[in-house]
Structure 1
Amino acid sequence: MTSAPLPPFDTAPPVDGAQDFEREATDPHCMSDTESDAVLHGAPWRRLAVVGDSLAEGLGDPVPGYRTACWADRLARALRRSVPDLAYLNLGRRGLTAAQVRAEQAEPAAAFTPDLLGVVCGGNDLLLPGFDPRALASELDRLFDTLGAPGTTLFVYALANVVDAIPELRGGPLEKGVEVLNEVTREVADRHGALVVQMHGHPASADRDLFSADRVHASARGHAVIAATTIRALASRIPAAEFSTGER
C-alpha cells in the first residue's frame, strides 16, 4: 500500500484573488514551517495513518489568507520535512459512525502498519437518535484494540465546541453533546495510552472563522489551527526532544 500524495499548496486555487497567505503567517495560533521544524526535530515516526469521519477527511470552507489544506495533510507535510520518506495514508470519509470507521477502516489501517495514528470519529454517533455514550466507548475501545500495536503512537481529539463561537447554538444538542463526546474520547484514550489533542477550550475556539458555514466542520483557518495544536501535542511524544509548546 503506497502513501497518499501531497500536492503542493500552491496548486490550490487562491481564495482571495492572490496566492497570499499573510493572515496565516501572522496568526498567533498557527505555526510557521520554521517553528514546526523545530518542534518536530527528532520525530521518530515513519508511517502516519489517519482514520475517521469528515474531520479526518478534511472537509471545510476556504478562508482568505489561509492555505486550503486539511490538518492531516498539513501534519504529513510538516513531518516529511523532518522525515522525507514518511509514508502517509488518510482513510477518513464523511458521514461515518465509529462502528463504520472500525468496520471499514481498521483493517486497511492496520495493514499499513503505522507508527503514528490519528483517530477522529464519534461526531456522527452524537447526531443519531438515541445516542449512547457507552456504545460509543465500546466501539472506540474495539477500534483502539485493533490499531494500538506496540510502538504505535495513537492520538485523538477533544473537540472545540462550536457553541463557543456561535452563541445562538447554546441550548441545542451540540452544547452538551460535544462535552459528552469529549469525555468518552478522553476516557478511552486514557485506557489505551493515547495522546489527546486539546482543541476544547483552545484560545481560538471562540472565533467564528474557525468553523465553516455549516457550523460543524473546521474552516481552512480551523484546519491550520488544529494542525499547529497537533504538532505541539505530538512534540511531547518525541524522545529527548527539545521543543516549544508556547504560542508565537
Structure 2
Amino acid sequence: MSDRHPWSRYVAIGDSFTEGIGDPDPTVPGGNRGWADRVAEVLAHRTDDFAYANLAVRGRLLGQIVDEQVEPALALRPDLVTVSAGGNDIIRPGSDPDELAERFDGMVERLRGGGATVVLFTGPDVGMTPVLGMVRGKTAIYNENLHAIALKHGALVADMWALRVLRDPRMWAPDRLHHSPTGHATVAAAVLDTLDVDHGLEPFVPEPLEARPWREARVEDLGWAREYLVPWVVRRIRHTSSGDGISPKRPELQDVVEHRSDTP
C-alpha cells in the first residue's frame, strides 16, 4: 500500500449509507460521521491541501442521486468520487436491477468523463437481516451489473458482498438497515484498501456471540418492528422519505479536521 496518494478533491455522493446514518456524532457536520468522513480523514492526513465534500442524503433513490447530486459533484471538479446508489430502489417491490444498472452506467460514464477516480460499492450480503434479506437475489444481480460497469469505465469497486464480516450483527445499527459505528469504520478500511492507501484502521475480529434465549430474541424483534419497520412501511405507503427536507451535510469542498483515532 502507498503512504501518499494522488487525490486532493474528494466528493462523496449517494444515500444514507454515504451520509453516515447509524454513526451519530454531534461534533461533525450533519451530526453523523460515517465511513466517508473516515476515509476523508485518512486521505487528508496523507497529503497536503486536501478537501472533501459529501452530497449524500438519506432516502435518495438512484434517479434522485443522478438528478440532484451528479452535476453539483462535477462542478466541484473532484479527482476522487465515491458513489453508492440504488440500494433504496432495490428494496422497493417491483424494481428491476437490470434497469437500475442501465441508469447507473450512464452516471458512472459522466463521473469518469471528468477524469476523476470513481469508486463504486456492491451491496452487502444481507441474507440474515429481516428486511434486506428479502431482496438478496436482486442485490446479487445488481452487484454483477456493477462489476461490469466498473470494468467498462475503469472504475474501482469496493466489494461489500465479499466483506463477509458485514454479516455480523455488530456491524449494524439498532434499525438493522444502516451500519453501526463499527460497521462504518470497517467499510472505511475496505474503501482505503480499494484505493491502495495505507491506514491505521485495524480489522474487526469478532468474538463469538453468546446464544440468546428464543423468547428474548423474539421480544427484541417485536420492539424493532414497532420502532423501525412500521415507520419504514408507512413511509413507503405515503410515498415520503426519511430525507425529505434534509440537505447535504458538506455541500462544498472543505478542509478535513482530524478526528479521534479509530479501530473498527
The answer, yes or no, to whether TM exceeds 0.5 is yes
Q: Match for residue 195 of structure 1?
A: 156
Is the contact made by 1:40 and 1:231 (CA closer than 8 Å) also made in structure 2? no
Q: Flag the 1:58–1:243 CA change in 2: closer, same or farther, 3 A.
A: closer
Using the TM superposition, give the Cα deviation of residue 184 of structure 1 relative to its aligned residue in structure 2, in angstroms: 2.2
Q: Match for residue 170 of structure 2?
A: 209
SS at match of 2:167: coil
Q: Match for residue 140 of structure 2?
A: 179
Is the contact made by 1:212 and 1:219 (CA closer than 8 Å) also made in structure 2? yes
Q: Match for residue 224 of structure 1?
A: 185
Scaled by the length of structure 2, what TM-score is found? 0.68
Q: Which amino acid aligns with 1:69?
A: R
C-alpha offsets along residues 97-126 of structure 1, whole Å, 9 cap, x if unaligned? 111100000110000111110000110110
Q: Which amino acid aligns with 1:145?
A: E
Q: Flag the 1:78–1:178 CA change in 2: closer, same or farther, 3 A.
A: same
SS at match of 1:119: strand
Q: Match for residue 85 of structure 1?
A: 49
Using the TM superposition, give the Cα deviation of residue 150 of structure 1 relative to its aligned residue in structure 2, in angstroms: 5.0
Aligned ranges for residues 44-123 of structure 1 at < 5 Å?
Answer: 44-61=6-23, 69-123=33-87
Using the TM superposition, give the Cα deviation of residue 226 of structure 1 relative to its aligned residue in structure 2, in angstroms: 0.2
Percent identity for Structure 1 against Structure 2: 36
Superposition misfits of 4+ residues, deviation over 6 angstroms: none
Using the TM superposition, give the Cα deviation of residue 186 of structure 1 relative to its aligned residue in structure 2, in angstroms: 1.5
Query: Is 138-147 or 178-187 further displaced after alignment?
Result: 178-187
Using the TM superposition, give the Cα deviation of residue 70 of structure 1 relative to its aligned residue in structure 2, in angstroms: 0.6
Using the TM superposition, give the Cα deviation of residue 189 of structure 1 relative to its aligned residue in structure 2, in angstroms: 1.5
Equivalent-residue separation in structure 1 for 2:203 and 2:19 (angstroms): 26
Aligned ranges for residues 116-155 of structure 1 at < 5 Å?
Answer: 116-155=80-119
Is the contact made by 2:77 and 2:114 (CA closer than 8 Å) also made in structure 1? no
C-alpha offsets along residues 192-211 of structure 1, whole Å, 9 cap, x if unaligned? 11111122132412211101
How big is the alpha-carbon RMSD for the aligned residues of Structure 1 and Structure 2?
Answer: 2.6
Compare CA radii of gyration and give the structure with the larger one.
2
Is the contact made by 2:125 and 2:164 (CA closer than 8 Å) also made in structure 1? no
Is the contact made by 1:72 and 1:227 (CA closer than 8 Å) also made in structure 2? yes
Which residue of 117, 121, 126 corresponds with 1:157? 121
Scaled by the length of structure 1, what TM-score is found? 0.72
Equivalent-residue separation in structure 2 for 1:40 and 1:97 (angstroms): 35
Equivalent-residue separation in structure 1 for 2:101 and 2:162 (angstroms): 22
Gapped regions of structure 1 (runs ≥ 5): 1-38
Equivalent-residue separation in structure 1 for 2:23 and 2:199 (angstroms): 31
Is the contact made by 2:97 and 2:139 (CA closer than 8 Å) also made in structure 1? no
Q: Flag the 1:70–1:243 CA change in 2: closer, same or farther, 3 A.
A: closer
Q: Flag the 1:220–1:147 CA change in 2: closer, same or farther, 3 A.
A: same
Is the contact made by 1:162 and 1:211 (CA closer than 8 Å) also made in structure 2? no
Equivalent-residue separation in structure 2 for 1:169 and 1:124 (angstroms): 12
